[in-house]
Amino acid sequence: MKRNEIKKHLNKFDRPVHVSTESWLNFKLWAFEAWKSHTMCQHWMYRIEIESSTQYEMLCQNDELIIPSKWLKVKQNNQLDNELNRLHQHALDAYRNEDFEVCLDLVRKGKLLNGTDLRFNELAMDCAAELSDWELAATEANCALTVNPANARIFGKRGRYYRELGDFEQSAHDFEVSLALNPNQEAIRFELADVYFAEKRYNEAFEKVNECLRCGVETEAELVLTARIAEKLKNYKTANELYFRAYLKNSFNPQVVKGLTKTAKLLRQERNYRRAS
């Protein structure tokens, strides 16, 4: 193989993005000199330092110059990244167009190429949730957490899936972990209070939902849940006040009107009882 043929052979391969142009040119020069010095050798293994950190190998076999596999791997990884990005974009477009089955098919292809790419796990979770397939959504969340076990967002989503499956204990655990990882999640705090309420852990639910009311602008849902919890704790005065505040926000909510009427009646009964005694 002549000098020009060797250069042409080396030029077939792209420079890896993490290697400087100067280092890449030095590597090609080194490769040529190594081949030229050992044309009569059957097997030779060499190592060079590129950017003072990574070792690359070149093997000369039967006078043939073989590009190191680590260089080729970089190029293959770039091609894989491009394919993953293309699949993810198409899957995202399908999700936005509400083609959830198509999105799931594309996600499966992406996961076959790279099972540790969280983007595909999250899309699969969201698609399964849109299709109300809560078991699949929870399974995808489990896979995502094996890749990134400290992801507050994934714990929050999995908490919702387990709540839909009726596993309130696991749901509460996931919401608690999500809040521990990121305390600035008012929606998760409210959902945790709702799960506590479903588990009849009324004191803990009352504490959590009150944190929501203190942290920002009180919403109708927060007021109604707090009122229901206060009602369960037989704190009818507080429940009545909360229902009234919710009534001022939306006087057409039948749950609010019913709760307001009920707590007002219970308060009258309490006053009459005290007077009678």
Mean pLDDT check: name the lowest of 48-57, 185-194, 253-262.
Answer: 48-57
Q: Is 15 helix (H, G, I), strand (E, B) or coil?
A: coil
Instruction: Indicate the pTM of the whole model.
Output: 0.70
Quote the pLDDT of residue 13: 60
Q: If you average pLDDT over residues 126-153, what whole number do you get?
A: 94
Higher pLDDT, 169 or 113: 169
- Express each pLDDT in 147-194 by its tens digit: 889 999 999 999 999 999 999 999 999 999 999 999 989 999 999 999
d(CA 75, CA 170) in angstroms, rounded, equals 44
CA-closest candidate to residue 197, choices 173, 214, 172? 172
Side-chain-side CA neighbours of 221 within 13 Å: the count stands at 8
Q: Which two tokens stand for residue 108?
A: 């499966």
d(CA 30, CA 16) in angstroms, rounded, equals 17
Sign of CA pseudo-dihedral 101, 103, 105, 111: negative
Quote the pLDDT of residue 54: 43
CA-closest candidate to residue 84, choices 125, 124, 112? 112
Quote the pLDDT of residue 81: 81
d(CA 227, CA 214) in angstroms, rounded, equals 15
- Kindly tell me if the per-residue pLDDT of 35 is higher than 60: no
Beginning with the edge strand found earlier in the chain, give each strand of the sheet holding 43-50 in spatial order. Answer: 43-50, 54-61, 64-66
Helix ranges (H only) for 114-167 are 118-130, 134-147, 152-164
